[in-house]
């Protein structure tokens, strides 16, 4: 059902066999719904994300909240955590955020991680070399064998977008979410470690990443719709569960539209900002669904000089290291209409001057055609903007008058 309705209306499963808990899926399955959640239009989403990253707002912290209505010992099998595909090694939490702090409490990080359920109080999670990875390394360097974390599920869309955003290390993603929510986010502490979760979360775990214990994680169907490789990842011990009395479990279909939008939107915004610093005007950015919401970017610009297209290509590759193929088009091309984009490639690209090939570059470990051990790939940039050496009328679509 989730696969069949992917990208359509959100789904609420009210009668889940074997559980009293309802399951929600697809809440963030369209950009339109994300825009509604933060009181913006779709055209304002990129600016809203960038503004929030650049000007985060410290959230309010309350002593209590709905997520604290019930406190239980961990029993993950009592939660309707989904197994999504036929070769999954077990149930996966795909919509949870993980919050952690440095040992001195000065750095707070909030990020999204896939989490494989191993038993009633153990998980393992994929930790890529970014901010949570850095906090784990810092803890090891101080001689610690574990890192306290909080895991929250059932969240406002802005919190999920913020947790997926490329905010600088040291900037709390909760502040980014609060800025997108116009200051309405309230946090609450769970446990004795000072870790915080949104007070209106449906469900939250107190947990520890065991830094000296690793287990197999995967295979997992990621953004590409293919299985990611099996890796050794840290063991996570869940020590306590907090939840609303009648909580709803928020699910996310791996490789589905919700997954692509949540991961891709913050990087569209980052590409928009980076290219805007290179060429006079950027019209729009789209990380395409066919490119897994991650590997293919289309950027429209208002070209003013020859070479603007290539400068835009380099800025886009720099802004999103995982992107594999980038197409730069003119402002009259709709980046969400792939037929329009293909038409631009057909009528405006000359490969000898508009094609850029970059071998052995850092790419995405999710790409099955890349070297998934060291993350290198070959990238291709396509400058499909019209040359300024010919009249603009040469490239205009013919129109039938009314």
The answer on pLDDT for 131 being more than 90 is yes
* H and E: helices and strands count for the chain: 9, 20
Question: And the tokens for 331?
Answer: 């402002």
Predicted local distance difference test score (pLDDT) of residue 103:
87
Give the 3-state DSSP-derived string for 284-340, with helices as H, strands as E and coil as C. Answer: EEEECCCCCCCCEEEEEECCCCCCHHHHHHHHHHHHCCCCCEEEEEECCCCCCCHHH
What mean pLDDT, rounded, does the chain reach? 94
- What's the average model confidence in pLDDT over 11-40? 93
- CB of 22 closer than 8 Å to CB of 251: no
The answer on pLDDT for 393 being more than 90 is no
The CATH T-level fold of domain 11-253 is: Pnp Oxidase; Chain A (2.30.110)
The answer on pLDDT for 6 being more than 90 is no
pLDDT digits (tens, 9 = 90+) for 36-93: 999 999 999 999 999 999 999 999 999 999 999 999 999 999 999 999 999 999 999 9
User: Binning pLDDT at 50, 70 and 90, where does residue 371 land?
Assistant: confident
- What's the average model confidence in pLDDT over 85-102? 95
Predicted local distance difference test score (pLDDT) of residue 1:
67
Active-site hit among 6, 148, 222, 330 = 222
- Residue limits of CATH 2.30.110.10 in the chain: 11-253
pTM: 0.91
pLDDT digits (tens, 9 = 90+) for 216-251: 999 999 888 899 889 999 999 999 999 999 999 999
- What's the average model confidence in pLDDT over 14-22? 92
- CB of 270 closer than 8 Å to CB of 263: no
- Residue limits of CATH 3.40.1670.10 in the chain: 277-387
pLDDT digits (tens, 9 = 90+) for 336-369: 999 999 999 999 999 999 999 999 999 888 888 8
| Phi, psi of 224, rounded to the nearest 5 degrees | -75, -10
- For residues 10 and 373, the model is more confident at 10
Q: What is the DSSP letter of 231?
A: E
Spatial CB neighbours of 88, under 8 Å, sequence gap ≥ 6: 219, 220, 221
The CATH T-level fold of domain 277-387 is: UbiD C-terminal domain-like (3.40.1670)
Question: And the tokens for 37?
Answer: 């959640």
The answer on pLDDT for 4 being more than 70 is no
Catalytic (active site) residue 222: yes
Count the Cβ atoms, other than its own, within 10 Å of residue 106: 8
């Amino acid at each position: 059902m989730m696969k069949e309705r992917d990208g359509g209306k959100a789904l609420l499963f009210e009668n889940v066999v074997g559980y009293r808990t309802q399951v929600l899926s697809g809440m963030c399955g369209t950009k339109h719904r994300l825009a509604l959640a933060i009181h913006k239009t779709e055209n304002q989403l990129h600016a809203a994300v960038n503004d929030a990253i650049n000007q985060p707002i410290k959230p309010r912290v309350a002593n209590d909240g709905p997520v604290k209505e019930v406190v239980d010992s961990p029993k993950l099998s009592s939660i309707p955590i989904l197994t999504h595909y036929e070769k999954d090694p077990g149930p996966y939490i795909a919509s949870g955020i993980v919050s952690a702090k440095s040992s001195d409490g000065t750095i707070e990080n909030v990020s999204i991680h896939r989490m494989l359920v191993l038993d009633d109080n153990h998980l393992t999670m994929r930790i890529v070399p970014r901010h949570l990875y850095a906090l784990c390394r810092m803890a090891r360097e101080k001689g610690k064998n574990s890192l306290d974390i909080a895991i929250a599920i059932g969240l406002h869309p802005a919190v999920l977008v913020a947790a997926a955003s490329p905010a600088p290390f040291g900037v709390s993603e909760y502040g980014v979410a609060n800025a997108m929510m116009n200051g309405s986010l309230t946090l609450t502490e769970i446990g004795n470690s000072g870790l915080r979760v949104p007070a209106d979360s449906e469900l939250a775990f107190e947990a520890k990443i065991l830094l000296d214990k690793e287990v197999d994680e995967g295979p997992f169907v990621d953004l590409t719709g293919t299985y990611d490789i099996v890796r050794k990842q840290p063991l996570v011990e869940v020590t306590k569960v907090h939840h609303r009395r009648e909580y709803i479990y928020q699910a996310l279909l791996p490789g589905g539209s919700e997954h692509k939008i949540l991961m891709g939107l913050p990087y569209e915004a980052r590409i928009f900002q980076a290219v805007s610093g290179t060429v006079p005007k950027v019209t729009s950015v789209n990380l395409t669904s066919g490119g897994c919401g991650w590997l293919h970017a289309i950027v429209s610009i208002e070209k003013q000089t020859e070479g603007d297209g290539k400068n835009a290509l380099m800025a886009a590759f720099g802004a999103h290291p995982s992107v594999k193929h980038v197409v730069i088009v003119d402002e009259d091309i709709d980046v969400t209409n792939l037929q329009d984009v293909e038409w631009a490639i057909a009528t405006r690209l000359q490969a000898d001057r508009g094609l850029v090939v970059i071998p052995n570059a850092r790419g995405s470990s999710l790409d099955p055609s890349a070297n998934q051990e060291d993350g290198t790939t070959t990238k291709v940039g396509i400058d499909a903007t019209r040359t300024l050496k010919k009249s603009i009328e040469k490239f205009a679509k013919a129109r039938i008058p009314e």
